[in-house]
Amino acid sequence: MVPNKDSLDDMFKNPEIRANYVQNMFSEIAPKYDLVNRVMTFGLDIRWRNLVASAAVRSDANLIIDTGTGSGDLALECSKMGAKNVVGLDFAQPMLVNARSKSKKNNFPNVDFAAADATSLPLPDSIADAWTGAFVLRNIPKLDTALQEAYRVLKPGGRLITLDAARLQPSTLVQRIAAPGVRFHFNKLVPLIGKILSGHENAYSYLPVSAEKFFSPNEFSARLRVNGFTVVRVFEFVFGTVMMHIAIKEQ
């Protein structure tokens, strides 16, 4: 359990403890994960995953790896958009149970789900046409290792598409005006709504803290470049609180 902000700050200093906390937390909130997502984003999360999938699915693409797939929505969206093969990977088993049950219920024969850690993918080099990750990388203490794994499994010319909560750094006038409301929603309402709906004491207090300790869109682009990627597009949603990056492993 992580009861307060000081303990959360301490946890961020210890990669092993944090990775463990993340794995347990997502396992515990798995039954209510989709519901909380829909409510706290007013359903916008569906639209964002749809954009990630449309950037990942290409007519000549054979395999998409969705890392930190959770309850599988992005992997299934890729399949709906015509992906030939999709593999969803996650290290929280209860999340995978949800993903498999959705896939079975709606008959997605070309989507497989398996347990794996994003920092050590059980895949050969240069096998994937696209690597996707929605709201995942912010949760990984060894971020560079996860990005290097993505780079390794991508074919030359393959695409990495990430979606995540951004560290709030209001740059436009509109973003500055919206910032107090956005902070109130993220720091106060999200933890409260999350606690009521999921029954989990602190999972949704972790969320704003993890976003604050993550990157702004520009900082994250720099991190992708350090790990060998060429950043081709960056999108910002909801006053800069959510960011999407499309990057390429050059030929």
Q: How far is the CB of 37 from ligand SAM (least distance, A)?
A: 6
Per the CB < 8 A criterion, the answer to whether 133 and 68 are in contact is yes
- The crossing angle, in degrees rounded to 10, of helices 33-40 and 15-29 is 90
Q: CB neighbours (10 Å) of residue 236? A: 16
Residue from 59, 56, 51, 58 nearest 67 by CA = 56
- CB closer to ligand SAM out of 150 and 168: 150
Residue from 118, 117, 113, 111 nearest 150 by CA = 118
- CB closer to ligand SAM out of 170 and 208: 208
Look-up of token digits 């929505």:
73
Q: How far is the CB of 249 from ligand SAM (least distance, A)?
A: 20
- CB closer to ligand SAM out of 97 and 179: 97
Q: How far is the CB of 72 from ligand SAM (least distance, A)?
A: 8
Q: How far is the CB of 241 from ligand SAM (least distance, A)?
A: 14
- CB closer to ligand SAM out of 175 and 187: 187
- CB closer to ligand SAM out of 79 and 178: 79
Q: How far is the CB of 173 from ligand SAM (least distance, A)?
A: 31
Tokens matching residue 55: 């950037």
- Listed as own residue / partner, the contacts of 46-52 with beta carbons closer than 8 Å and 24 or more positions apart are 46/73, 48/134, 48/163, 48/237, 48/242, 48/244, 49/73, 49/74, 49/77, 49/134, 49/163, 50/77, 51/163, 51/235, 51/244, 52/77, 52/132, 52/134, 52/161, 52/162, 52/163, 52/244
Q: How far is the CB of 155 from ligand SAM (least distance, A)?
A: 21
- Chain positions contacting ligand SAM, by CB under 6 A: 22, 26, 49, 68-70, 73-74, 90-92, 95, 117-119, 134-136, 139-140
Q: How far is the CB of 95 from ligand SAM (least distance, A)?
A: 4
- CB closer to ligand SAM out of 68 and 194: 68
Residue with the shortest CB distance to ligand SAM: 70
- CB closer to ligand SAM out of 116 and 247: 116
